[in-house]
Amino acid sequence: MSKVRITKRLVDGLEVRPGEYVIWDTELTGFGVRVRPTGNMTYIVQYRAGSGRGAPTKKLTLGPVGKLTPDEARTAAKSAIGDVLHGGDPARDKTAKRTAPTIDELASDYITDFVAKHRKPMTLAAYQHYLPFVVSAWAGRKAVDITRADVAKLHREVGAKTPVLANRIVTFLSGVYSWADDQERVAEGCNPTRKIKKFPEQGKERYLNAEEYQRLGDALEAAEQGIVSWEPDPDRKVKHAPKDGNRTVEFSPYVIAAIRLFLFTGARLREILHMRWEEYDADRGVIFHGDTKTGRQTLVLSDAAKAIIDAIPRGGDYIIAGRDPTKPRADIKRPWGRLRAYAGMEDVRLHDLRHSFASVGVGGGYGLPIVGKLLGHTQAATTQKYAHLDTEPVRRVTNEIGRRINNAMAGGAAAKPFAHGGETNATAAKGKPPREPRRRTPATKAGNDPPPTN
């Protein structure tokens, strides 16, 4: 090995030899040019990975001669040596980056190894839907190379059409990197989704009023009587459509019971469709859910809800039986769509029945904590979205007070005595006419009788 200042003239004059050799720089210790028998020349830096003479010696390839100038290679060597002085190991880091998983590999492993085992089927299906967006954007790129700017760009592009989907993709990616951090597959704190500002979302809060409850009740009775009719979609071709007189819908009694239970329990879709007979305690009037969105849950049934369940014929393992008695019903989307169309409530979703249940409870003055308990909320903050309904009882009181004050100020027949208590009410309670209040003249003073009149 020889030492000489590495310059362009020196590099251009290097000869190929039968064996590999290195020319070391005289100015920067550890910086050199490696020449192989094949004629391949690369700039390298050699260092000890650790302190003391026992630390292993490593070589880090900086780049090929021709793509890097000697000055550029010298700058890279100084940077690498600086990392070593601060306790780093550039060669190890380079190897780790080369073997690091790609973002599509990491996201797929996250779904297979974690989501499929620890999350609900609906969450799994949603994440499988988000994965193609990640793959199409960054297929083959190392997960550690994805930057916040990359995530922001994907969020912006998807959000131009569907903002909610864009937000969900960012949430999915955040989960990928958090899991990879726990598994030590990326460096600690590596998460490019941080500080990504999500698009605002307007939650759909639809509540049934008294008239709509009546319409839905009429529709359910019509479904039980088999008189709910339907019309083919004029925009779609329907083969072999029945004649006008035969266009009625046959509803399963289990479907009708399910919809009634949505109304009277405020439970989620899967909580209703996945109820098992073995979870039902008829004596105590409760359902002991073994697996819900928020874990184990006890659903306290009203008398009306209990009566619905007691009237359901047993058709298998599940209270809301489907075609397969050993499996829960997948959904009731189609019959619900026809039922709400018959009721003239096409904009009402099944989940809106849960919102409506909560609104009746909170609006009735029962408070957020107890309503949250009925809905199966584990966090008080989840029930806070119904906080605006909590003002309705107070609003009714203040409206009544305002009405009575307004009537009193207007006088006449509309005015009624206030129920303040005291002498007026006490006298009225004994059947005696109230004493006419003494009128004061401007000369009246507190504690003195008015002056005599002529």
Together in a domain, 71 and 122? no
CATH number at residue 91: 3.30.160.390
Q: Does residue 408 form part of some domain?
A: no
Same domain, 237 and 360: yes
Among 336, 358, 391, the domain-final residue is 391
Sheet holding 280-281, edge to edge: 280-281, 286-292, 295-300
Helix (H, G, I), strand (E, B) or coil at 130: helix
Within-domain flag for 329 = yes
Between the alpha carbon of residue 169 and those of residues 96, 118, 126, the distances in Å are 27, 19, 10
Indicate if 245 and 385 belong to the same structural domain.
yes
Is residue 125 located within the same domain as residue 272? no
Instruction: Compute the distance between CA of residue 361 and CA of residue 344 in angstroms, rounded to an integer.
Output: 25
Q: How far apart are the first and last CA of the chain?
A: 136
6 and 32 both lie in a single domain? yes
Tell me the per-residue pLDDT of 381-418, one tens digit each, with 9 for 90 and over. 666 666 666 566 666 777 777 788 777 777 755 555 55
Residue 114: which CATH number?
A: 1.10.150
Report yes or no on 450 lying in a domain: no
pLDDT band at 442 (very low <50, low <70, confident <90, very high): very low
d(CA 452, CA 441): 11
More confident residue, 207 or 304: 304
Looking at the predicted structure, is the pLDDT value of residue 292 above 80?
no
Same domain, 71 and 150: no
Give percent of the chain above pLDDT 70. 78
Check pLDDT > 60 for residue 447.
no
Name the residue with tokens 């119904």: 386
Residues 242 and 347 in one domain: yes
- Find all residues with CB under 8 Å of 70, minimum gap 6, and list them: 6, 7, 8, 10, 11, 43
Q: What does the pLDDT look like over 72-111, one tens digit per residue?
A: 999 999 999 998 888 888 887 777 677 688 999 999 999 9
The confidence score (pLDDT) of residue 384 equals 64
* Residues 62 and 73 sit within 8 Å (Cβ to Cβ): yes
Instruction: Tell me the three state secondary structure of residue 68.
Output: strand
Domains contained in the chain, number: 3
- Do 108 and 218 lie in one domain? The reply is no
For residue range 304-359, list pLDDT tens digits in order.
999 999 999 998 899 999 889 889 998 899 999 999 999 999 999 998 888 888 87
**Cα 207 to Cα 356: distance, rounded to the nearest angstrom:** 5
Helix pair 121-138, 163-182: axis angle to 10 deg: 90
Averaged over 45-68, what is the pLDDT?
A: 86
**Final residue of a structural domain among 391, 409, 437:** 391
Q: Provide the 3-class DSSP secondary structure of residue 253.
A: helix
User: What CATH number does the domain containing 288 carry?
Assistant: 1.10.443.10
**What does the alpha-carbon distance between residue 93 and residue 49 come to, in Å, rounded to a whole number?**
12
Same domain, 167 and 297: no
Give the integer Cα–Cα distance in Å for 335 and 262. Answer: 14
Residue 151 falls inside a structural domain: yes
| 201-210, 215-224, 242-251, 267-276: the lowest-pLDDT one | 242-251
Q: Is residue 205 part of a domain?
A: no
Q: Residue 42 falls within a domain, yes or no?
A: yes
The last residue of one of the domains, among 99, 114, 142, is 99
Please give the helix or strand (H or E) that residue 57 lies within, else none.
Answer: strand 57-64
Tell me the pLDDT tens digit for each residue of 154-189.
Answer: 999 999 999 999 999 999 999 999 999 898 888 778
- In the predicted structure, residue 443 carries a pLDDT above the cut 70: no
> What range defines the domain where residue 242 resides?
210-391
What are the DSSP calls for 356-388, one per residue? Answer: HHHHHHHHTT--HHHHHHHHT-SSHHHHGGGGG
Same domain as 320, residue 264 = yes
295: in domain: yes
Q: Which of 371, 365, 368, 367 is nearest to 392 (CA)?
A: 365
Residue 279: DSSP 8-state: G
Residues 280 and 376 in one domain: yes
341 inside domain:
yes
Strands (E), 220-344: 280-281, 286-292, 295-300
Work out the widest C-alpha separation in the chain, in whole angstroms. 142
pLDDT averaged over every residue in the chain: 81
Confidence at residue 402, expressed as pLDDT on a 0 to 100 scale: 76
For residues 240 and 145, state if they share a domain: no
CA 139 to chain centroid: 26
pTM above 0.75, yes or no: no
Task: Tell me the backbone φ, ψ of residue 436, rounded to 5 degrees.
Answer: -70, 130
Separation between Cα atoms, residue 425 and residue 340, nearest integer Å? 52
Q: Smallest Cα–Cα separation from 318: which of 264, 279, 375, 263?
A: 279
